[in-house]
Homo-oligomer: A and B are copies of this chain.
């Protein structure tokens, strides 16, 4: 029975674990099968054609293993490859950008939405498009924030440097009357306390931070409920399993994944795509 299958989640690396974590929080009884393409991370600097090809490899690996739907837990892939994946695959595919855009439109009073993301996601124009299809009034002010990913991977998420980096990226949004800042990269939620403090100081106490991953988990929960695709054990209190696969360096992935997820990670399988 299809509902018993795990939810497939993939990312170019480990950032998608912040999305998996939100899914686990909202849907603890679901099984999750996570794939991080760590041999080819990061996708951000690659061409659209290359990203589409890599994403297809990831999606096929999860479909082969058996999943009931796919969550593309990577903004770069969601920005450029979602239509291709949906056209090719015979199962529901949910990206992180559309839920993030919906949550941002709902939260904004000024109709000016700031988006922090990698250079590739900003250049793709995916957030402005997704916002435009949800609101005729809302406008997006995008800002590439290339230092935030290495700050997260360095574990330097509090204090002067992350705060100054956050200010560098958030400050230009003030002139545009922005009152919602979307975390448009799945690494950024690890910096959320710092980013929220900077957003409140620079854009005002009423300004909000939207985590696209959290918005995606919320939309996923609604999607599964509406289609009766929830795991039969839902409501039983029995936790689902989370399995992880990577394409390179499983041991170092397990170590960092523990930090991202907040609990030890035992086994990470090495796979070829």
Q: Which residues of A contact B (CB under 8 A)?
A: 38-41, 45-47, 50, 146-147, 149-151, 153-154, 156, 160-161, 164-165, 168, 248-249
- Please give the distance in Å from A194's CB to the nearest CB on chain B: 14
Query: Given contacts A45-B38, A46-B39, A50-B39, is CB(A150)–CB(B160) below 8 Å?
Result: no
Copy number in this complex?
Answer: 2
Which partner residue on chain B sits nearest A165 by CB separation? B161
Whole-angstrom CA separation of A141 from B172 in the bound complex: 40
Query: Given contacts A40-B40, A161-B161, A165-B161, is CB(A47)–CB(B149) below 8 Å?
Result: no
- Please give the distance in Å from A149's CB to the nearest CB on chain B: 7
Which partner residue on chain B sits nearest A144 by CB separation? B154
Our pick among B38, B50, B149 for the contact of A150 (Cβ within 8 Å) is B149
Which partner residue on chain B sits nearest A160 by CB separation? B164
Whole-angstrom CA separation of A161 from B147 in the bound complex: 11
Which of chain B's residues have a CB closer than 8 A to the CB of A38? 45
Whole-angstrom CA separation of A168 from B155 in the bound complex: 13
Which of chain B's residues have a CB closer than 8 A to the CB of A46? 39, 248-249
- Please give the distance in Å from A162's CB to the nearest CB on chain B: 10
Whole-angstrom CA separation of A147 from B47 in the bound complex: 24
- Please give the distance in Å from A239's CB to the nearest CB on chain B: 31
The reply to whether A50 and B154 contact each other, CB–CB distance below 8 Å, is no
The reply to whether B164 and A154 contact each other, CB–CB distance below 8 Å, is no
Which partner residue on chain B sits nearest A153 by CB separation? B146
Query: Given contacts A147-B147, A156-B147, A161-B164, is CB(A45)–CB(B50) below 8 Å?
Result: no
Which of chain B's residues have a CB closer than 8 A to the CB of A249? 45-47
- Please give the distance in Å from A156's CB to the nearest CB on chain B: 7
